[in-house]
Amino acid sequence: MSNVYLNGEWLPIEKAQVSVLDRGFIFGDGVYEVIPVYNRKAFALTAHLKRLERSLAGIRLSPPLQDNQWQLIIEQLVKEADTDNSSIYLQITRGVAPRDHAFPLNTPATVFAMAKPMAPVPEAWLQQGIKVVTHEDDRWLHCDLKTTALLANVLLRQYAVDKQAVECLLIREGCVTEGAASNIIVVHQGEVLFPPRNNLILPGITYDLIIDLVTQAGIPFRETTVTREQLANASEVMMTSSTREIVPITDIDGKKVGTGLPGPMFKQLLSLYQSLK
């Protein structure tokens, strides 16, 4: 595996170590980003760096690096990556300090970055769609921040895995929020519905790109709350994320979505998305 970046150093991953007092380890006190790379070119990099800055501001951590410094690190990771398609993982924590909930003073952030091979989305998912299960969204009220405190997401994803499903679709007070590690979009009565960008969902870069695509293509869409009833009557449902792009959901809690096969809107959106890459 290629070298990783840790606090200004480049080293093999086995040698990259952080203290047990790192606040990322102790409190999950940090943020992260995942940036897809196609043919050794980072995709939608500016949007990802902007979201990283927003997440840092959201947890009141000063940006440890400027955009041009991130870009140099990412270029190096992309160049050294074992595969042409990879994902770049960036993580920043509030650094190493004696354990105390309150922020430490004058403590440098821990900055970590690595490249990971990106597996293609399984062909069967695109041809047949995937199965998901629903669960009450029991996460906190700052889901718009991409923080490393992911225990709720971990438990929700495992709930799906235990039920032989690919993703867990989250419902809060009767409305769809997102997936445990994805955004959800729903086709209902001929319109593409996007659960609103608020504190309850991560503002997905893929979600934003798809809003741009449907706008340009003149496809009717709305950013609006999506009720459990609308979900149950949807003709198509999809999940989106940087590493999985757009995946059709054809089974929710054991019930078929629409015809039970990937629909025409999925095919159109996938083809529009592929042309962006």
Ligand X SMILES: Cc1ncc(COP(=O)(O)O)c(C=O)c1O
Catalytic positions are: 146
**Residue 38 phi/psi, 5° resolution?**
-115, 130
Range 194-213, binding ligand X (CB under 6 A):
202, 204-207
| Burial annotation 220-258 (CB, 10 A radius, 16+ → b, else e) | ebeeebbbeebbeebebbbbbbbbbbbbbbbbbeeeebb
Minimum CB separation from ligand X for residue 208, in Å? 8
Angle, helices 205-217/264-276, rounded to nearest 10 degrees: 110
Owner of token pair 């140099």: 72
| Burial annotation 119-139 (CB, 10 A radius, 16+ → b, else e) | eeeeeebbeebbbbbbbebeb
Using CB under 6 A as the binding rule, whether residue 177 contacts ligand X is answered as: no
Residue 57 makes CB contacts below 8 A (sequence gap 6+) with none
Minimum CB separation from ligand X for residue 182, in Å? 5
Minimum CB separation from ligand X for residue 113, in Å? 17
Q: How many residues bind ligand X (CB under 6 A)?
A: 14
Minimum CB separation from ligand X for residue 244, in Å? 8
Using CB under 6 A as the binding rule, whether residue 238 contacts ligand X is answered as: no
State the Cα–Cα distance between residues 127 and 248, nearest whole angstrom: 9
Residue 218 makes CB contacts below 8 A (sequence gap 6+) with none
Using CB under 6 A as the binding rule, whether residue 240 contacts ligand X is answered as: yes
Using CB under 6 A as the binding rule, whether residue 148 contacts ligand X is answered as: no
Instruction: State which residue, 29 or 167, has the beta carbon closest to ligand X.
Output: 167
Judge contact between 237 and 207, C-beta under 8 A. no
Using CB under 6 A as the binding rule, whether residue 87 contacts ligand X is answered as: no
Identify which of 130, 125, 155 has the alpha carbon closest to the alpha carbon of residue 253: 130
Using CB under 6 A as the binding rule, whether residue 181 contacts ligand X is answered as: yes
Minimum CB separation from ligand X for residue 183, in Å? 4
For 34, the 3-state DSSP assignment is strand
Instruction: State which residue, 97 or 148, has the beta carbon closest to ligand X.
Output: 148
Instruction: State which residue, 86 or 206, has the beta carbon closest to ligand X.
Output: 206
Instruction: State which residue, 3 or 134, has the beta carbon closest to ligand X.
Output: 134
Using CB under 6 A as the binding rule, whether residue 132 contacts ligand X is answered as: no
Using CB under 6 A as the binding rule, whether residue 183 contacts ligand X is answered as: yes
State the Cα–Cα distance between residues 214 and 216, nearest whole angstrom: 5
State the Cα–Cα distance between residues 32 and 145, nearest whole angstrom: 9
Using CB under 6 A as the binding rule, whether residue 237 contacts ligand X is answered as: no
Using CB under 6 A as the binding rule, whether residue 242 contacts ligand X is answered as: yes
Instruction: State which residue, 11 or 57, has the beta carbon closest to ligand X.
Output: 57
Given the rule CB under 6 A, which of 1-9, 13-21, 219-227, 234-242 is the region that contacts ligand X?
234-242
Here's the x/- map for ligand X, 18-37, by CB under 6 A: it reads as ----------------x---
Using CB under 6 A as the binding rule, whether residue 91 contacts ligand X is answered as: no
State the Cα–Cα distance between residues 263 and 186, nearest whole angstrom: 11
Binding site for ligand X (CB under 6 A): 34, 153, 178, 181-183, 202, 204-207, 240-242
